[in-house]
Amino acid sequence: MLQFAGEVLASYAKLFVFDDLYIDKSVFVEMEDLNIESSATVVDETNIKTMPIDALPLSERTRNALIKNQILYVEDLEKKKKAELLLMKGV
């Protein structure tokens, strides 16, 4: 589940900040392999958005930059626009 959350965060980062972000796909698991029922998926998406940034496998530098800029949850990152992220110190 944590790997999927990392993929979501990396996707958002790619959309907002990085044009050629390298993501090592070998660490990801296909959703079909997880055997999750469709009703459980909806709950998991909500849980991912409310997941704290501290729980994600990020580098210490990235985590600190996000926290200093008041991005404490994945949901907070999702709400930011590209221009806002580019203006943040350390991002």
- Beta carbons within 8 Å of 20's beta carbon, 6+ residues apart: none
- The number of C-alpha atoms within 13 Å of 16 and in the hemisphere containing its C-beta is 20
Q: Could you read off the pLDDT of 37-67 as tens digits, one per residue?
A: 554 555 466 678 888 988 888 888 888 988 9
- What local confidence, expressed as pLDDT, does residue 32 receive? 67
pTM for the predicted model, two decimal places: 0.47
pLDDT band at 84 (very low <50, low <70, confident <90, very high): confident
Helix (H, G, I), strand (E, B), or coil: what is residue 66? helix
How crowded is residue 90: how many other Cβ atoms within 10 Å of its Cβ? 11
Per domain, the residue ranges of the chain are 2-87
- Locate 16 and state its tokens: 């907002």
Q: Could you read off the pLDDT of 15-33 as tens digits, one per residue?
A: 665 555 555 666 666 666 6
Cα distances from 23 to residues 11, 13, 62, 71, 73, in angstroms, run 9, 11, 15, 22, 21
- What local confidence, expressed as pLDDT, does residue 49 receive? 84
pLDDT band at 12 (very low <50, low <70, confident <90, very high): confident
